[in-house]
Amino acid sequence: MAQVTVANGTPSRSPVEIMIDRIWRFFTSVRVAVLEITLLALMVLLGTLRGSDAPQWMANAAPALQPLVDSWYAWDVFGSPIFAILLAVIAVAIAVCTVNRLPAIWGTISAPRIRTSKGYIERAEVKASFTHAGTLDELRQGMESIFTSRRYRFFTEQVGNDLHFYADKNRWAKLGTFPFHLALILLLVGGIVASVYGFRDTNFAVAEGETQSVGHGTDLSVELVRFTDDYTQEGIASNYESEVVIYDNGQPVEEGSISVNGPLNHGVATFYQGGFGISVDLLIDGASGRTLYDESLEMGFFNFRGNPDAPAGLIRLPSEGVQVAVVAPDTDRANRPDLDTLQLQSGQVWVQVAPLSTSDPDIEPVTAVLDQGTPLEVGDLTLLFERESRFTVLQVAYNPGIPIFFIASVLLVGGLAATFYFPLRRVRGIIHHGAGGNTLTMTPLAKRDWGGKKEFFSMAERAGERFHTTPTIKRPDHEGNWHDDASQESDDEETR
């Protein structure tokens, strides 16, 4: 007896195909997209609030949250791998969804569906219809002429006794969605590049006449040529600016003044004026006569407990196993005279040479007061206070994602302009050939496009003029309600 084998209608799929399909569905899932956007919004909120006092307010209200708040302040949200990975996932999701829409959009452009149904047109909120006693070919040619004069394409398809037609214009503007979505992807890529390779240094100090390297893997350095400041009669700084030269790989590339509201740009780096202070030019020699330090020391970034109201600085000399604390005269002695325990005068600085490690018993802290221009031995070191100068504090923002953001902005504006200034306009219709003549019924695909509806009404009226008939047009009135012109005319006749 013969065996009958019934094959499964669904062909077997390889594990690779199943995996690709699941990955594709993951990236095109609306639920996953909502989750991704929610996580992104949460991380942006955390990163934004990190730069404010809001987390500390929470800790003050609930002291048990202080460890969590400390971790919050310590976490660089926008520079974290989690933030970069989330941006990458969203970028891939946008790319996949965009590719997923490509076949349908290209089909609308290259091979639109012409055939429609009478029920669809009858149920349409906006439509127009009229009867023509001439031939079907005359009506078709006349409608094609009306549409092509408005830059529409015109297609027809014979279905039994009916002639279906489809007209559209601005079809290429549908492609505007692709540069728009590419711009979104580039914005995310720019964010990844900025978070991984960018930085912001809020305390970049450069002494007058000195050149300081920016660091962070860049070849940039800044020379402070001159610092100028103006004060009010009350002694408050009213204006201050820095004349600087920017070097890239040792070559000068930019020069100019940086003020509070006038930053200086070079490539993807921006230099802002943040503050200023006094600096001390020191020369430190070791016991062998070798120079250990010959730079300007920025004062104010270090507080000395013995004289907390005076500007201070700290020099670490690992080769000698010591550190040198330097304290300048109190600049606001009248504010808290009791804190000015050192009573330093202009042209003097107080120094303390102490071991780097407090557990080292062999080195005792040694203190001294240096007079400007007079070298002095302090412990095993010889210190010379050369002069007092000023330094500037700059904020350095380095964002290598800026060129990507610029390209994204051009694509974003271009895509939006193509989509909104050249909207896709489409009209579907049916010409029914009967014994009493030809009846044309058509409707625009413009549910939320008032401009498209106005153009449709204009073409319907023009068709009426061309074929010497009065079309019945269903259109909205100024109140947003709908009515038929024919029924409105009947009501007017009854009223008269």
Please write the tens of the pLDDT for every residue from 341-355: 888 888 899 999 998
Furthest-apart CA atoms within the chain: distance in Å: 121
Please write the tens of the pLDDT for every residue from 398-422: 999 999 999 999 999 999 999 889 9
pLDDT over 50 (residue 487): no
pLDDT over 90 (residue 477): no
| Pair (261, 349) in one structural domain | no
The answer to whether residue 188 is domain-embedded is no
Contact yes or no for 224/208 (Cβ under 8 A): yes
The answer to whether residue 2 is domain-embedded is no
For β-strands 269-285 and 425-434, DSSP reports them as unpaired
CATH code of 311's domain: 2.60.200
From residue 480, how far is each of 125, 217, 475, 476, 477 by CA, in Å? 12, 62, 9, 6, 6
Give the domain extent around 133: 113-169+423-487
pLDDT value of residue 4: 54
Report the candidate in 230, 224, 192, 231 with the shortest Cα–Cα distance to residue 210: 224
Q: Stretch 43-68: mean pLDDT, rounded?
A: 90
Within 8 A by CB and 6+ apart from 298, the residues are 205, 207, 277, 279, 313, 391
CATH code of 149's domain: 3.30.160.110
* Helix 402-421 vs helix 177-197: crossing angle, to nearest 10: 160
Lookup: tokens for 70: 């400390």
The answer to whether residue 328 is domain-embedded is yes
CA end-to-end distance (rounded Å), the chain = 89
The answer to whether residue 206 is domain-embedded is yes
The structural domain count of the chain equals: 4
Domain boundary among 88, 106, 124: 106
pLDDT value of residue 130: 94
Confidence of residue 495 (pLDDT cuts 50, 70, 90): very low
One-letter amino acid for residue 200 of the chain: R
The answer to whether residue 208 is domain-embedded is yes
Domain boundary among 60, 79, 106: 106
The answer to whether residue 266 is domain-embedded is yes
Please write the tens of the pLDDT for every residue from 92-104: 999 999 999 899 9
Contact yes or no for 285/382 (Cβ under 8 A): yes
pLDDT value of residue 361: 62
| Pair (210, 150) in one structural domain | no
| Pair (207, 231) in one structural domain | yes
| Pair (200, 247) in one structural domain | yes
Of the listed ranges 4-18, 124-138, 278-292, 299-313, the least confidently predicted one is 4-18
Look over the chain and give the mean of its residue pLDDT values, rounded to a whole number: 87
Count CB-CB contacts under 10 A for residue 258.
Answer: 24
The answer to whether residue 127 is domain-embedded is yes
Rounded to 5°, the CA angle 338-343-348 comes to: 150
Highest mean pLDDT among 226-230, 234-238, 422-426, 435-439: 422-426
The answer to whether residue 142 is domain-embedded is yes
pLDDT, greater one: 32 or 358: 32
Confidence of residue 161 (pLDDT cuts 50, 70, 90): confident
pLDDT over 80 (residue 372): yes
Highest mean pLDDT among 159-163, 299-303, 308-312: 159-163
Confidence of residue 13 (pLDDT cuts 50, 70, 90): confident
| Pair (254, 398) in one structural domain | yes
pLDDT value of residue 43: 93
Confidence of residue 482 (pLDDT cuts 50, 70, 90): very low
Within 8 A by CB and 6+ apart from 140, the residues are 156, 163, 165, 431
For β-strands 127-132 and 376-378, DSSP reports them as unpaired
Residue 217 exposure: Cα atoms within 13 Å on the Cβ side: 8
Domain boundary among 404, 434, 452: 404
| Pair (144, 220) in one structural domain | no
| Pair (296, 379) in one structural domain | yes
pLDDT value of residue 299: 87
| Pair (261, 399) in one structural domain | yes
| Pair (398, 266) in one structural domain | yes
Contact yes or no for 132/438 (Cβ under 8 A): yes
pLDDT over 90 (residue 397): yes
| Pair (149, 223) in one structural domain | no
| Pair (386, 479) in one structural domain | no
pLDDT over 70 (residue 362): no
| Pair (93, 61) in one structural domain | yes
Please write the tens of the pLDDT for every residue from 180-235: 999 999 999 998 898 889 999 988 989 888 899 999 889 999 999 999 888 777 76
Q: What is the 3-state secondary structure (H, E, C) of 317-339?
A: ECCCCEEEEEECCCCCCCCCHHH
Would the CA dihedral through 349, 350, 354, 357 be positive or negative?
A: negative
Backbone angles phi, psi at 238, to 5 degrees: -95, -25
